[in-house]
């Protein structure tokens, strides 16, 4: 087997933060090479260097006989590298064939598009990846699994030597995922493509890959043949036990009481299995789970974003989850994971973003600019917003400061919420700002009749912030663990088959 791509000494920094620290790695044709690592390990940046989206500061990428110090996405594509992201790059209103040929249409001498030839070729490629639909169908009519096949067909039409798959089964059903894993192995073993498989799902790694590389802190920790590895080896490799121990040692004492503040009974979101959950006054509860575990659905359901069934009570009063406005009126608010798309208005000022949910109150009987400025200045000082400029557009703030705006909406004079829900509370946030946000959340929880419920895919974050940890597997509570739990035990439970197949604490699962 020949080496499809080699990296030597790849380094990349963002300001003082060195993300890649001299990565050396080879991807071989005919192999599925899994790439693992905890959050912040450098996986996304490494993929960006391979796809041309990120230019390394130093080091080289060798493809065939050509050595590159960095390239554009088009140059990477021309060199034989194809990447399929978790979020599909397809146009719903175009046919499958049009998507496959977008930007590279077949033209006749007169300049017209050879539609018939495109459809025929597209159908042949679709059959080769096991698709059972026609290339004339609109992409918008296809299921998620079928769209994944379109993305793969679009990539292999150009006969790449290296195919990168980023969390390819994250949105697929169990049956669709198994079909995809079989296809991935055929592309590598039968067609000789070097496949780089990036996932958090360790069971998939053991099933589909031939070789595994683990990144940690921007460096290659190790590379081994999959046949030499077991689940325990993978869990130990992606756990950051040393970091967890430090976080646990520095954790302030819990301020939670015995009084149940938020009580959730027979609660299901969009048809998921019902669960029970309780959060005590002053408590910070962390929901930990992998992609597809149902963690985001849970908090979005509690916030009124998704359709739900069951009952939710806050201090004995029923909470309406019919809509976000109903939940907010009853004291439950959500800080979503995608700040740009779900939380902030990028072209609006920092003050407008901070006060947005409260204008109906602040404008009664009329708006007072001096009062709004006073509130903004107070919150900005409380959250250490930098720069603390009320007129600055939200898009101009760093990830950490943008998150402070989103959290600050519910603090200080704006603290009308009793329960703050957060989805990935420090995603895309630097280490310093992360600690500041943790402090804000702990301060909020210490107030009378307040609590925090957050979800995260980062075990280090859950162990650093939560007083109690609930692990979700396939939308079912797999176990409830204390914040002092070992990180490897936490990660292992998240990768288990749930309560029936795991020897972990499950006491109180009927009412967590």
> Tens digit of pLDDT for each residue in 160-203?
999 999 888 877 777 888 889 999 999 999 999 999 999 878 88
Calculate the alpha carbon distances from 280 to 76, 116, 153, 467 in Å: 52, 64, 50, 10
Per-residue pLDDT band at 118 (split at 50, 70, 90) = very high
pLDDT confidence of residue 256: 72
Task: State the DSSP code for 344.
Answer: -
Q: CA-CA distance, 180 to 177, in Å (whole number)?
A: 5
**Mean pLDDT, range 341-358, rounded to an integer:** 92
Q: On the CB side of 372, how many CA atoms lie within 13 Å of its CA? A: 22
Give Cβ neighbours of residue 349 (< 8 Å, ≥ 6 apart).
390, 391, 392, 393, 394
**Mean pLDDT, range 139-157, rounded to an integer:** 92
Does the reported pTM lie above 0.85?
no
Question: Who has greater pLDDT, 340 or 105?
Answer: 105
pLDDT confidence of residue 502: 43
pLDDT confidence of residue 252: 65
* Dihedral pair phi/psi, residue 249, rounded to 5°: -65, -30
State the DSSP string of 398-412: -HHHHHHHHHHTTSG
Question: Who has greater pLDDT, 270 or 214?
Answer: 214
pLDDT confidence of residue 255: 65
Per-residue pLDDT band at 431 (split at 50, 70, 90) = low
**Mean pLDDT, range 62-68, rounded to an integer:** 89
**Mean pLDDT, range 346-370, rounded to an integer:** 89
Q: On the CB side of 270, how many CA atoms lie within 13 Å of its CA? A: 12
Q: Does pLDDT of 102 surpass 50?
A: yes
pLDDT, tens digit, 9 for 90 and up, residues 398-428: 888 999 999 999 998 777 899 999 999 988 7
Identify the H or E element spanning 66.
strand 66-68
pLDDT confidence of residue 327: 96
pLDDT confidence of residue 249: 46
**Mean pLDDT, range 49-78, rounded to an integer:** 91
pLDDT, tens digit, 9 for 90 and up, residues 288-318: 998 788 999 999 999 999 999 999 999 999 9
**Mean pLDDT, range 50-70, rounded to an integer:** 91
Q: Does pLDDT of 248 surpass 60?
A: no
Q: Does pLDDT of 504 surpass 60?
A: no
- Say if CB 58 and CB 9 are below 8 A apart: yes
Per-residue pLDDT band at 228 (split at 50, 70, 90) = very high
pLDDT confidence of residue 501: 42
Helix (H, G, I), strand (E, B) or coil at 353: helix
Is residue 244 reached through a cis peptide bond, with omega within 30 degrees of 0 on the bond before it?
A: no
Kindly state the percentage of the chain with pLDDT values over 70. Answer: 93
Q: CA-CA distance, 469 to 483, in Å (whole number)?
A: 6
Structural domains in the chain plus CATH codes: 2-238 (3.40.50.300), 260-344+417-495 (3.40.50.300)
pLDDT confidence of residue 470: 97
pLDDT confidence of residue 498: 65
Q: Does pLDDT of 59 surpass 70?
A: yes
- Say if CB 454 and CB 442 are below 8 A apart: no
pLDDT confidence of residue 246: 39
State the DSSP string of 283-329: -EEEEE--TTSSHHHHHHHHTTSS-EEEEEEETTEEPP-SSHHHHHH
pLDDT confidence of residue 15: 82
Q: Does pLDDT of 510 surpass 60?
A: no
Question: Who has greater pLDDT, 257 or 490?
Answer: 490
Per-residue pLDDT band at 337 (split at 50, 70, 90) = confident
Positive or negative: CA dihedral 283, 289, 291, 294 = negative
pLDDT confidence of residue 372: 92
């Amino acid at each position: 087997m020949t080496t499809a791509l080699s990296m030597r000494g790849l380094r990349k920094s963002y300001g003082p933060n060195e993300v890649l620290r001299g990565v050396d790695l080879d991807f071989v044709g005919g192999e599925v090479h899994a790439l693992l690592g905890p959050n912040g390990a450098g996986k996304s940046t490494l993929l960006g260097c391979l796809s041309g989206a990120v230019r390394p500061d130093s080091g080289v990428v060798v493809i065939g006989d050509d050595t590159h110090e960095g390239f554009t996405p088009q140059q990477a594509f021309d060199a034989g590298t194809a990447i399929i992201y978790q979020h599909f790059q397809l146009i719903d209103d175009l046919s499958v064939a049009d998507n496959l040929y977008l930007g590279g249409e077949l033209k006749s001498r007169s300049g017209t598009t050879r539609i018939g030839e495109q459809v025929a070729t597209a159908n042949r490629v679709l059959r080769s990846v096991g698709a059972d639909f026609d290339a004339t169908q609109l992409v918008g009519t296809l299921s998620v699994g079928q769209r994944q096949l379109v993305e793969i067909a679009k990539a292999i039409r150009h006969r790449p030597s290296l195919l990168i798959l980023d969390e390819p089964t994250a949105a697929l059903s169990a049956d669709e995922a198994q079909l995809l894993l079989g296809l991935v192995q055929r592309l590598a073993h039968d067609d000789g493509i070097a496949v780089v498989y990036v996932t958090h799902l360790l069971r998939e790694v053991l099933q589909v890959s031939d070789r595994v590389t683990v990144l940690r802190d921007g460096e290659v920790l190790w590379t081994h043949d999959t046949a030499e590895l077991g689940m325990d080896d993978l869990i130990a490799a992606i756990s950051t036990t040393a970091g967890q121990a430090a976080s646990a040692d520095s954790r302030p004492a819990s301020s939670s009481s015995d009084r149940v503040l938020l009580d959730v009974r027979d609660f299901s979101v969009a048809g998921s299995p019902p669960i029970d959950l309780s959060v005590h006054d002053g408590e910070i509860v962390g929901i930990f789970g992998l992609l597809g575990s149902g963690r985001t659905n849970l908090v979005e359901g509690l916030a009124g974003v998704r359709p739900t069934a069951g009952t939710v009570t806050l201090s004995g009063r029923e909470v309406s989850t019919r809509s976000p406005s109903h939940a907010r009126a009853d004291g439950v608010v959500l800080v979503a994971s995608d700040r740009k798309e779900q939380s902030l208005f990028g072209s609006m000022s920092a003050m407008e973003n901070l006060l947005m949910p409260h204008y109906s109150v602040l404008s009664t009987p009329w708006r007072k600019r001096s009062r709004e400025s006073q509130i903004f200045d107070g919150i900005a000082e409380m959250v250490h917003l930098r720069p603390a400029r009320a007129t600055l557009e939200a898009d101009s703030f760093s990830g950490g400061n943008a998150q402070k705006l989103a959290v600050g909406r519910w603090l200080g004079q704006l603290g009308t919420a009793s329960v703050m829900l957060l989805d990935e509370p420090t995603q895309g946030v630097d280490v310093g700002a992360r600690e500041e946000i943790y402090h804000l959340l702990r301060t909020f929880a210490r107030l009378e009749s307040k609590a925090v419920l957050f979800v995260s895919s980062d075990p280090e974050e859950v162990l650093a912030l939560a007083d109690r940890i609930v692990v979700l597997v396939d939308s079912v509570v797999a176990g409830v663990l204390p914040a002092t739990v070992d990180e490897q035990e936490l990660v292992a439970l998240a990768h288990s088959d749930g309560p029936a197949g795991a020897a972990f604490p499950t006491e109180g699962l009927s009412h967590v």
